[in-house]
Structure 1
Amino acid sequence: MPRLPLLVVLGVLSGLTGCRAKDPGPPVPWSADMQAVADGNNQFAFDLYAKLCDREKGNLFFSPYSAHTALAMTATGARGTTRDEMVAVLHLPTDEQQVAAAGDLARYYAHPRKDYELSVANAIWGQKGFPWRPEFLNGQTDRFGSGFQDADFATDPDGERQRINQWAAEKTRDQVKELVPPGLVTKTQQMVLANAIYFKGAWQSQFDPKHTTSLPFTLADATTVPVPMMRREGGFRHYAEFAPADQRAGRWEPEFQVAELPYKGAELSMVVLVPGTHDGLPALEARLSAPALDGWLIKAQNANDTGLYLPKFKLETGAMMMREPLQALGMRRAFDPAGADFTGMHTSTEALFVNFVVQKAFVDVNEEGTEAAAATAVGLMKTAAKLDFRADRPFLFLIRDVKHGT
């Protein structure tokens, strides 16, 4: 069975997934190249999670799959060092054909499912009149199902922003609104590439609402808050890890536990990781990686007689700007107005660079199942045509020996 990319959203609480293109085309068989992209998506998920944890406070909820797809679409038009850095951060295969398999992965998820709703949609808005390469646009359509739409950023940037936001809301069943905040799209914007995903699935074993009661949830500072806690017996896979010293001493308090809750059809699941203590999440996060999670899930066993307690919750994020986390991972050249190379997209003498990467996400976990959505937008704008040097404010100066550097 293939290892699917993480559609789970990592965080203190939760999980997420994926919006259907209008015409997904014929079914895509699973391939080795798609598996390589899926594995890369999983590694990217944990890398990005670690960087977001350094910045975000409170509950953290995002879709690595949505961000990965939007950036992979962008990477197909990158060249040189720009492309190399994007491929490395996204853990994409280096071969051009294998990179294109990211589009096949999107098409794989674009097909209707019988037991749950999982849909993926991609789109591109480009400044009309700009010399876009036909091969780039055709590749986006063929691989990602990304319909290209002419945009008029030059005269109506906010109108185009609202049109992009309307698309994202439509593709996420109105769960993601105002994806691109006001002021982010300017008259020098040339392109916006977007991914939207939506998921709605019922638990394979549902919770009885009569068993949902208010119970204490212990925060990292040891204080407690009441939450609606769902409860059931069994119907999930479970793994608990104990320290060897604790086992030898006969202590059976786990360092952490992992539960995998399947949705109806058993093709998708939510994975929940809980540390052994209220302040143990940082230590668990430090151990978290794609191989580690694979190993824990392999060890998980059916928990037919184990009690499962899971909070009932609903989360909606604000606009998460991802430029700094991505730069910290090594994706620097794409954001550099003087160094970015996206000539695989166009034939203009004017350079383009990424001026924003933004995501919004939503999740609702209840007794019946999960509804979740996310959307990511990547913007590219023109580098300023002319930069004057004007010493018309307080400034510094020095006189140096050019030959010796003193």
Structure 2
Amino acid sequence: MISSIFLGCVEDSTVNTKTTINTDSVNGYDISTANNAFAFDMYSLIKNGDENIFFSPYSIFTTMAICYDGAEGSTKEQLSDACYYPLNKSVLEESSKEMVDTINSNSDYYSLETANALWVRNDYPLNKKFVNNSETYYGGKITNVDFRNEPEESQEIINEWIATKTNGKIRDLISDDMINPEWTDMIITNTLYFKGNWLIEFDVDDTQKEPFYNSSSSEEGTLVDMMYVWKYFSYGENKDAKVVELPYKGRDLSMYIVLPEKNNIEDFENKFTLSDYNELKSTMEPGQDVRIWLPKYTFETKTKLSDPLIEMGVVDAFDVENADFSGIFDSQKMPRGYSLKIDDVVHQTFIEVNETGTEAAAATAEDMAYSKPPGEVFDFKADHPFMFFIEDKRTGCILFMGKIEKPEYGEMS
């Protein structure tokens, strides 16, 4: 998964916004809760009827955080409100570094890596403090590229870096029309790649064609490749939905599947908040005897996030007259009246879920211009639309989030 920002010339009861924004202590700021609140806010704005959804809130949250590090004035305040960033930037910087270090701490059981990079036009005078913060707290590698004279080569360089960091799963994030030789000064990119095997795998021999009833399907449903396993899992439920945890080997990460009671997921997802998600998870008890049916699926997405971010309140950052990213560049070396704004934010993802485990990737580019009696067997049959979350259990951070309406499985290009 990848996120990018291009630069050129819903609040949730789980989060105490005032406390979060105004904290001056790293211990007083829960970056995972902020990220997760942002995840649900973003989901509410990008859900698209009966289409599959998949995105990495962490990738977007982090890309925007790098940009936030150079924001001032109302631009900074709006980003803080929308993304739950503390107004004290040093708190976000230290918290982000700890998160990056945890994600990139390596494991013999799975692959998980995030990377940040800043692609800056030749001779662009960056603010030294911004450079230091990007490198120190985000591991942001800064590379000069010739946007002005060689936009195609610049595009190729950035896309190749993204493809390498995502094991070839994210390609061509930067499209032909995203680099404007006259206006593009910087592109900020984040990648997040994960590949892990289930702690309890599904037996391939148990996979068979079974009907899946999406929100608009007929009574017969659509035949899909349905995996099956009967083991002990952490499981919970309430009157609205069931939840089961599928841990990956190493136990640092898990997929949580939230299955609404009704086939039509729209009413559920419109009301399902981070508080509801946490409350549903609180009903879970380990070691429950569960039979699970889960479809195999693989798909890709590519989403423009400028409009959702503006709807979340990030307005000035996209306005050439009001954007204030003066902390990014050396103002003494720029002509009078120079202004830097976000031109576009693009997010691309890939996910594959099968009997063995999960492979997921994301990239963002920001261009500036609940329990029952023991002994009972629980059935968790995901034969209708469901939401899913891949969490880093060490931090509680939602790395990936999505919805399955149409489970399809096959070779991706």
TM-score by length of 1: 0.80
Question: Tell me, what secondary structure is at the counterpart of 1:229?
Answer: strand
**Which residue does the alignment assign to 1:163?**
157
Q: Is contact 1:107-1:143 (8 Å) kept? A: no
Q: CA deviation at 1:240?
A: 1.6
Q: Is contact 2:233-2:289 (8 Å) kept? A: no
Correspondence 1:82 to 2:72:
no
Q: CA deviation at 1:303?
A: 5.2
Q: CA deviation at 1:350?
A: 1.2
Q: Is contact 1:222-1:278 (8 Å) kept? A: no
Question: Tell me, what secondary structure is at the counterpart of 2:42?
Answer: helix
Aligned equivalents of 1:361, 1:228: Cα separation in 2: 22
Letter in structure 2 aligned against 1:292 = D
Question: Tell me, what secondary structure is at the counterpart of 2:86?
Answer: coil
Map 1:283-322 → 2, pairs under 5 A: 283-302=267-286, 304-317=288-301, 319-322=302-305
**Which residue does the alignment assign to 2:190?**
195
**Which residue does the alignment assign to 2:352?**
364
Q: 1:120 aligns with which of 114, 121, 127?
A: 114
Q: 1:344 aligns with which of 327, 341, 345?
A: 327
Q: Is contact 2:49-2:266 (8 Å) kept? A: no
Aligned equivalents of 1:371, 1:362: Cα separation in 2: 8
Q: Is contact 1:203-1:263 (8 Å) kept? A: yes
Q: What does the per-residue CA deviation read over 1:97-144, in whole Å, with 9 as the maximum and x for residues that have no partner?
A: 112122332232122123211111110011121221111011100000
Q: CA deviation at 1:159?
A: 1.8
Q: CA deviation at 1:77?
A: 0.6
CA 1:34–1:380 in 2, change beyond 3 Å: closer, same or farther?
A: farther
Q: 1:219 aligns with which of 202, 209, 214?
A: 214
Aligned equivalents of 2:180, 2:329: Cα separation in 1: 20
**Which residue does the alignment assign to 1:388?**
none
Q: CA deviation at 1:58?
A: 0.9
Please list every run of at least 4 consecutive aligned residues from structure 1 whose deviation after the TM superposition is greater than 4 angstroms.
Answer: 31-35
Gaps in structure 2 of 5+ consecutive residues: 2-24, 332-336, 370-413
Percent identity, please.
Answer: 31
Question: Tell me, what secondary structure is at the counterpart of 2:54?
Answer: coil
Q: Is contact 2:238-2:283 (8 Å) kept? A: no
Q: CA deviation at 1:33?
A: 4.5
Letter in structure 2 aligned against 1:313 = Y
Judge which range, 344-353 or 184-193, deviates more.
Answer: 344-353
CA 1:104–1:178 in 2, change beyond 3 Å: closer, same or farther?
A: same
Aligned equivalents of 2:30, 2:150: Cα separation in 1: 41
**Which residue does the alignment assign to 1:324?**
307
Q: CA deviation at 1:305?
A: 2.1
Aligned equivalents of 2:234, 2:268: Cα separation in 1: 19
Correspondence 1:278 to 2:278:
no
Map 1:36-47 → 2, pairs under 5 A: 36-47=30-41
Q: Is contact 1:158-1:186 (8 Å) kept? A: no
Structure with bigger RCO (C-alpha 8 Å, 6+ apart): 2
Aligned equivalents of 1:172, 1:265: Cα separation in 2: 21
Gaps in structure 1 of 5+ consecutive residues: 1-6, 8-30, 243-254, 382-406
Aligned equivalents of 2:194, 2:103: Cα separation in 1: 11
Q: Is contact 1:103-1:143 (8 Å) kept? A: yes
Aligned equivalents of 1:288, 1:158: Cα separation in 2: 43
Aligned equivalents of 1:125, 1:107: Cα separation in 2: 22
- In our comparison, the structure showing a higher alpha carbon Rg is 1
Q: What does the per-residue CA deviation read over 1:229-267, in whole Å, with 9 as the maximum and x for residues that have no partner?
A: 00011332211212xxxxxxxxxxxx3211111111211
**Which residue does the alignment assign to 2:317?**
334
Question: Tell me, what secondary structure is at the counterpart of 2:178?
Answer: coil
CA 1:56–1:322 in 2, change beyond 3 Å: closer, same or farther?
A: farther
Aligned equivalents of 1:366, 1:32: Cα separation in 2: 39
Whose strand proportion is higher, 1 or 2?
2
**Which residue does the alignment assign to 1:91?**
84
Q: 1:354 aligns with which of 323, 338, 342?
A: 342
Q: 2:58 aligns with which of 61, 65, 68?
A: 65
Aligned equivalents of 2:217, 2:50: Cα separation in 1: 17
C-alpha root-mean-square deviation of aligned residues, in Å? 1.7
Q: Is contact 1:37-1:93 (8 Å) kept? A: no
Q: Is contact 1:322-1:357 (8 Å) kept? A: yes
Q: 1:105 aligns with which of 99, 103, 124?
A: 99
Q: What does the per-residue CA deviation read over 1:187-218, in whole Å, with 9 as the maximum and x for residues that have no partner?
A: 11001111001101111111110100100000
Q: Is contact 2:209-2:224 (8 Å) kept? A: yes
**Which residue does the alignment assign to 1:376?**
364
Letter in structure 1 aligned against 2:291 = G
Paired residues in the alignment total 337
**Which residue does the alignment assign to 1:175?**
169
Q: CA deviation at 1:364?
A: 0.6
TM-score by length of 2: 0.79
Aligned equivalents of 2:83, 2:50: Cα separation in 1: 24
Q: CA deviation at 1:289?
A: 2.0
Q: CA deviation at 1:302?
A: 2.7
Aligned equivalents of 2:231, 2:60: Cα separation in 1: 34
Letter in structure 1 aligned against 2:352 = D
Aligned equivalents of 1:56, 1:166: Cα separation in 2: 33
